[in-house]
């Protein structure tokens, strides 16, 4: 087995964390001589709240504010990351916080201005920034236990849904960069879960085929792996990045809206939406965890405020009692669950494995606690799935196992992941030519030759797409670059070698070389959605310099306080003793005073500092002169007889 080239000997001395950045909850874990363990106080809600005083809170404290500040509390951001505003039009209407369009159809989360402030003071955040706050909170938990062992720039293995496309993977990696982390590897969540279960899957067998069914809060993945001699090889993967427990909550929410008589097509106050969403989640958890028969159910009292359309006032009506049985719930979620089963069957077909040859089905994600999910998989495979690891913790523990592999602590295991979606370029007529087909093991590199279709063509634009359809119009554009400087030649004569290289993170680099002339060009694919490279650099710089900015802000505040005080003192002194000044002194002092007052109303702190210094020097001189005159007068006064 070869060592991983991205690590040096020095890395072996540094702790590497495993982080599960989840839609609903996140976890950070480590594997050491004591085994794998979760760091901190268990699940960290992937929720960020922006208080009106500028404070940002993450986790349980943020989740507790969903009712009070629904428009300032951001959850489920993983469903937004790396996606366009056009793709999220429907999703945006279901959220209590606001989404707005950023550059190049990207998504921004708008946090409103504080009450009483001008609307222009609203702040827009990219999904990557929100995820960075969650990642920082995870690392804070780890640092509280591990201290200096983490190093100044913590190194992490970060999990992503197996079916995340290039834009979503890039955006997740950028979120980690914004959080000040070095990502050693992006690992598919189902693959990480299989690593967590690996030791318990009869390690003595010659080969094991494992199906990982990962149904979380916002995403669904299914992955087929072959485990043999400590090597975990992903054979196939499938999934849906817009299917999960949040969708089950939404179906229950629709039922509650109907029961309470609220019109879903009309605008609903964010506070009402937050209340109903929390009620729906509570119903789902109770129906999943409590021992109930098919016709038994959960009854809750829903009491929500309604917005008065005329006056904008919130009025509270009578509470509505709503009962939902387990049969009701299972009927609601039947179609989404059938979609997951279709993905399971597609994965088996892609991996050329019959379901009878599956040795174990592993459950991952909190939504797999739903009894119908477990019953459905038992019916499909003729045996119950593995559940001996907490489905909420399996991904983080698997990420920690991969971290141990990369750090050198585990030398017995090798992980081989795959490309989730095919990658290729646009060719004549808008056709999609696939260079790397989905389920190819990474890292990988493939080169194919193309030629020109136009006489004397001196440049070629290479458009890069990801998807499974035959036309680029049905796939996702993820990047482009220009190969120029080709000597004029007849159509079909130039030989252009295009190389696609996918690294261990699943990230793509594309290069092109015209073989006759030797002209080359390349690009590291950075999808246009989400943050630009300049955005990332700016935000990283801002995060590093935050402490310095606080000092500058404090100095500016102190300067303005000093200016206000000296203006007031000067005006009082002029009112009391201004008549005793020489005309030239009075003119200079009043001129300096007027300049300081004018600059106090502006934003030029450098000029204000200069004005304050000038006014201070004048007032000190005047004070000295006035004191000197008073002393001289006192000395010249005749002594009393």
Contact 529, 81 (CB under 8 A): no
Q: Among 182, 169, 217, 211, which residue's Cα sits nearest to residue 194?
A: 211
Q: For this structure, is 20 an active site residue?
A: yes
Contact 146, 34 (CB under 8 A): no
Q: Which residues contact 147 (CB under 8 A, 6 or more apart)?
A: none
Q: For this structure, is 214 an active site residue?
A: yes
The tokens describing 515, both together, are 């073989």
Q: For this structure, is 78 an active site residue?
A: yes
The tokens describing 126, both together, are 């990219």
Q: Which residues contact 308 (CB under 8 A, 6 or more apart)?
A: 314, 315
Decide: helix, strand or coil at residue 56.
strand
Q: Across-strand partners of 302?
A: 320
Cα–Cα distances in angstroms (integers) from residue 461 to residues 74, 107, 397, 423, in the given order: 40, 27, 44, 16
Count CA atoms closer than 13 A to 319's CA, side-chain side.
8
Q: Which residues contact 333 (CB under 8 A, 6 or more apart)?
A: 248, 251, 370, 372
Give the active site residue among 78, 173, 284, 434: 78
Give the active site residue among 214, 249, 330, 417: 214
Give the active site residue among 31, 128, 166, 189: 189
Degrees (nearest 5) of the Cα angle 506, 464, 84? Answer: 80
Give the active site residue among 20, 128, 165, 177: 20
Q: Tell me the three-class secondary structure of 557-598, residue by residue.
A: HHHHHHHHHHHHHHHHHHHHHHHHCCHHHHHHHHHHHHHHHH
Please compute Rg for the chain using Cα positions: 32
Count CA atoms closer than 13 A to 165's CA, side-chain side.
26
SS3 content of the chain, % helix, strand, coil (to 5): 45, 25, 30
- Report the catalytic residues: 20, 78, 189, 214
């Amino acid at each position: 087995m070869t060592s991983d080239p991205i690590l040096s000997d020095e890395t072996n001395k540094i702790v590497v964390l495993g982080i599960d950045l989840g839609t609903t909850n996140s976890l950070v874990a480590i594997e050491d001589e004591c085994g794998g363990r979760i760091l901190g106080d268990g699940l960290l809600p992937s929720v960020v709240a922006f208080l009106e005083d500028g404070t940002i809170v993450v986790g349980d404290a943020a989740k507790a504010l969903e009712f009070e500040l629904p428009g300032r509390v951001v959850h489920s951001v993983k469903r937004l990351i790396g996606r366009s505003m056009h793709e999220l039009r429907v999703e945006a209407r279901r959220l209590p916080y606001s989404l707005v369009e950023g550059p190049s159809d990207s998504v921004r989360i708008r946090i409103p201005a504080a009450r009483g402030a001008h609307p222009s003071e609203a702040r827009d955040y990219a999904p990557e920034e929100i995820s960075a706050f969650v990642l920082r909170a995870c690392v804070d938990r780890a640092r509280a236990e591990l201290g200096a062992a983490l190093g100044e720039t913590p190194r992490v293995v970060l999990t992503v849904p197996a079916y995340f496309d290039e834009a979503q993977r890039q955006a997740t990696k950028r979120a980690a960069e914004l959080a000040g982390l070095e990502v050693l590897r992006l690992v598919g969540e189902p693959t990480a879960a299989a690593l967590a279960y690996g030791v318990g899957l009869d390690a003595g067998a010659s080969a094991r085929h494992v199906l990982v069914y990962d149904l979380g809060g916002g995403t669904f993945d299914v992955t087929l792996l072959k485990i043999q001699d400590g090597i975990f090889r992903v054979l196939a993967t499938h999934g849906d990045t817009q299917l999960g427990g949040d969708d089950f909550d939404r179906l229950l929410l629709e039922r509650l809206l109907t029961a309470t008589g609220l019109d879903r097509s009309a605008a609903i106050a964010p506070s009402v939406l937050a209340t109903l969403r929390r009620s729906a989640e509570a119903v789902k958890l109770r129906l999943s965890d409590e021992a109930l028969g098919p016709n038994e159910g959960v009854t809750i009292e829903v009491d929500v405020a309604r917005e008065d359309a005329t006056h904008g006032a919130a009025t509270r009506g009578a509470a509505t009692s709503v009962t939902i049985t387990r049969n009701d719930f299972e009927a609601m979620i039947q179609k989404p669950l059938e979609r997951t089963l279709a993905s399971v069957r597609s994965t088996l077909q892609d991996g050329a494995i019959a379901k009878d040859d599956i040795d174990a089905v592993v459950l991952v994600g909190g939504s797999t606690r739903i009894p119908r999910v477990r019953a459905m998989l038992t019916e499909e495979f003729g045996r119950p799935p593995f559940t001996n690891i907490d489905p909420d913790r399996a991904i983080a523990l698997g990420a920690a196992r991969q971290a141990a592999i990369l750090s050198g602590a585990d030398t017995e295991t090798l992980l081989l992941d795959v490309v989730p979606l095919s990658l290729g370029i646009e060719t004549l007529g808008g056709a999609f030519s696939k260079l790397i087909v989905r389920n190819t093991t990474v890292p990988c590199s493939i080169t194919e030759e193309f030629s020109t279709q136009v006489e004397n063509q001196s440049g070629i634009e290479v458009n890069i797409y990801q998807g499974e359809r035959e036309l680029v119009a049905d796939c996702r554009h993820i990047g482009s670059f220009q190969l120029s400087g080709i000597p004029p030649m007849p159509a079909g004569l130039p030989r252009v070698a295009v190389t696609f290289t996918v690294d261990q993170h699943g990230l793509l680099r594309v290069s092109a070389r015209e073989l006759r002339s030797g002209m080359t060009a390349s690009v590291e694919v950075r999808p246009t959605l989400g943050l630009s490279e300049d955005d990332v650099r700016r935000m990283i710089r801002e995060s590093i310099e935050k402490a310095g900015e606080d000092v500058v802000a404090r100095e500016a505040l102190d300067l303005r306080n000093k200016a206000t005080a000296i203006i007031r003192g000067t005006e009082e002194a002029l009112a009391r003793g201004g008549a005793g000044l020489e005309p030239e002194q009075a003119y200079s002092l009043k001129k300096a005073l007027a300049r300081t007052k004018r600059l106090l109303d502006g934003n030029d702190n450098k000029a204000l500092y200069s004005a304050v210094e000038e006014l201070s020097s004048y007032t000190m001189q005047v004070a000295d002169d006035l004191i000197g005159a008073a002393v001289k007068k006192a000395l010249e006064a005749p002594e009393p007889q």
